[in-house]
Amino acid sequence: EMSEMSERSKQNVAHGLAWSYYVGYLKIVLPRMKKSMEEFSKANPNMLACRETWKLHILIPLSCDVYDDLEKADSNIEYLTDLTETTLPRAGTKKRVYKHSLYTIRDEDNKLWHCAVEYATPLQSLYTMSQDECAAFSRENRLEQAKLFYRTLEEILKGSKECAGTYRLIVYEESGEAETHFLSREILWHLRQQRHEEYTVYEGNQLHNPSTTLSSTELNLQISESDLPQPLRSDCF
């Protein structure tokens, strides 16, 4: 009965996607991030000066609007190169390739920042489901599931010792007005914050979070704990 109720409210969709994303992808690639970034930094010492940014920056737009080409999303974002790829046998595929792309982010002063960044790919599934009549998945469902996906993924990664310090979740809600450089601004805020965390020059100098970037606390206020999928236990009755 509890399973049927959960299916009707679509609570298991985001929960399952978050776990699948972690087990099938992040748990594999994140532990290798530091080594890949270090190898690139040795060959290009001036590009990745701040070690605190040696992470995979994962974009989580609550609209689930994912671009396949980041350069088309924002002209201040430019593809630079790929990090060293990892090849592993996986689920019958002899040489499955995992790799990440490095991008150059140009700020308002034409200063260049560099980081590994990509979208959380399961958001594409949520978006597609909201466009497919067979899924009976509304835009409202999509928004709530995107929030739940982020909260679930955040909790999973917080409990993963092997992934500690290798990622940065960038969750945001796009404003209604069209902004040409919205995405680069969001990424730059996180890069600056990480740099600030590693090199504190002026005590008491605080960086302000843009209003479009949402914290887990804000999302907790938007989604009640009772909305989360609960384990099926016979001893609860």
pLDDT tens digit sequence for 42-92: 998 888 878 899 999 999 999 999 999 999 999 999 999 999 988 888 888
* Cα–Cα distance measured from residue 54 to residue 50, given in angstroms and rounded to the nearest whole number: 7
Query: Inter-axis angle of helices 11-21 and 139-158, to 10 degrees?
Result: 40
Task: Give yes or no for a contact between 28 and 87, defined as CB atoms under 8 angstroms apart.
Answer: no
- Local structure of 44: helix, strand or coil: coil
Residue 145 · residue 13 · CB < 8 Å:
yes
pLDDT for the residue 108: 94
Q: With CA atoms as reference, report the closest residue to 83 among 60, 57, 109.
A: 57
pLDDT surpasses 80 at 168: yes
Q: Which residues lie across from 172 on neighbouring strands?
A: 61, 213
- pLDDT reading at 2 higher than 50: no
Cα angle 145, 154, 143; round to 5: 15
Weakest mean pLDDT among 24-38, 62-76, 96-110, 215-229: 215-229
Determine the residue type at 236. C
Taking the CA atoms of residue 175, residue 122, residue 74 and residue 118 in that order, the dihedral angle to the nearest 10 degrees is 130
Q: What sign does the CA torsion over 20, 21, 22, 23 have?
A: positive
**Mean predicted lDDT score pLDDT of the chain:** 81
Where residue 142 falls among pLDDT bands split at 50, 70, 90?
confident
Query: What is the per-residue pLDDT across 216-229, written as a single tens digit (0 to 9) for each?
Result: 555 653 544 444 44
Sign of the Cα pseudo-torsion (119, 75, 69, 28, in order):
negative
Residues 42-58 as b/e (b if ≥16 CB within 10 A, e otherwise) read: eeeeebbebeebbbbbb
Return the CATH number of the domain spanning residue range 9-201. Answer: 3.40.50.12100
Say if residues 57 and 90 touch (Cβ distance below 8 Å): no
What are the structural domain ranges in the chain? Answer: 9-201
The continuous run of DSSP H or E covering 60 comes out as strand 56-61
pTM: 0.80
